[in-house]
Amino acid sequence: MPSEGAAIRPSARLTRHFQLLGALVAMEVFNPLMAKATPIERLVSIGLFFVVCVTVFRALFSTARRRWIGTGLAGITIAIDLTRIFASRDLQLSLDALLNVTASAFYVFVLSVIIRQVFNARRLRLDDVVGAFSGYILIALFWGRLYVLAWMLIPTSFNISPDIRWELQSWSTLHALFDYFSFTTITSIGYADITTVGPVSDAMVWLEVMCGQFYMAVVVATIVGMKVAEALSSPQRGN
């Protein structure tokens, strides 16, 4: 029977999930600062995404199948991003669109692994909660990439305030802008500096809100249910 000290000792995965959360936050904080989008800044941005991939592999990909799929999606995304730095302007739009598609696929796959881990966990630990929170961030990042794709294909789908339109001129600030819009949308805050003006973008917004609310409801219910089950199954003190 494990000792009391062993029961409260944090596992290795606790640190890894905190690393994943920290890498996601760092990527979102530092990418907007590289507004000039020089080759060096683009390499730094790719490096930040690589750090996220490494933390994902350490925290989540425990099976060979997950590692193969994760490596494929992350590798393709990084390869496209590197190609984009040196590609001609004629190819930029196509590579940007393809990059957003592969990054979205990677985020969805990581999110699916996180959800499986939360639902398959027999005992709730802090690392499970941190992983679930990271999944919420990944949902917003996924929709942020979709908003970028929508803007690239139908720029008139969004009404953007003149005060922040300058952010559309740079790759880093463009993605940061729509990530910001995604986070404010999924949390149902909305500051009206970006609004939708077309049926496609309108549908994307309410779909994201529903997806975020459903995720929160299911995850919170699962966490509460696991805690109640642990409390009922554990022996009462004094017995």
pLDDT, greater one: 120 or 144 = 144
Q: Judge whether 146 lies within some domain.
A: yes
Residue 17 lies in domain: 4-233
Residue 239 has pLDDT above 70, yes or no: no
- Residue 108 CB partners (closer than 8 Å, separation 6+): 142
> Hey, what amino acid is at 18?
F
Q: What is the pLDDT of residue 14?
A: 55
Q: Which percentage of the chain shows pLDDT scores above 90? A: 36
Q: Is the pLDDT of residue 8 over 80?
A: no
Q: Using CA atoms of 108, 33, 201, 115 in order, give the dihedral in degrees to the nearest 10.
A: 20
Q: Is residue 118 part of a domain?
A: yes
H/E stretch holding 195: strand 194-196
Which alpha helices (H) appear in the chain, and where do they start and end? Answer: 4-8, 12-30, 39-59, 64-86, 89-120, 126-153, 171-186, 199-233
User: Is 31 within 8 Å of 45 (Cβ atoms)?
Assistant: yes
pLDDT at 75: 94
Residues 6+ apart with CB under 8 A from 211: 139, 143, 186
Q: Which of 155, 210, 158 is nearest to 181 (CA)?
A: 158
pLDDT in tens, 10-38: 444 457 778 888 889 988 888 887 766 67
> Could you tell me if residue 53 is inside a domain?
yes
pLDDT tens string 156-208: 999 999 999 988 888 888 889 999 999 999 998 888 899 999 899 999 999 99
Coil, strand or helix at 194: strand
Which of the two residues, 198 and 234, has the higher pLDDT score? 198
Provide the token pair at 33: 């600062």
User: Does 66 map to a domain?
Assistant: yes
Number of domains in the chain: 1
Task: Look at residue 102 and tell me if it is in a domain.
Answer: yes
Average pLDDT, the chain: 83
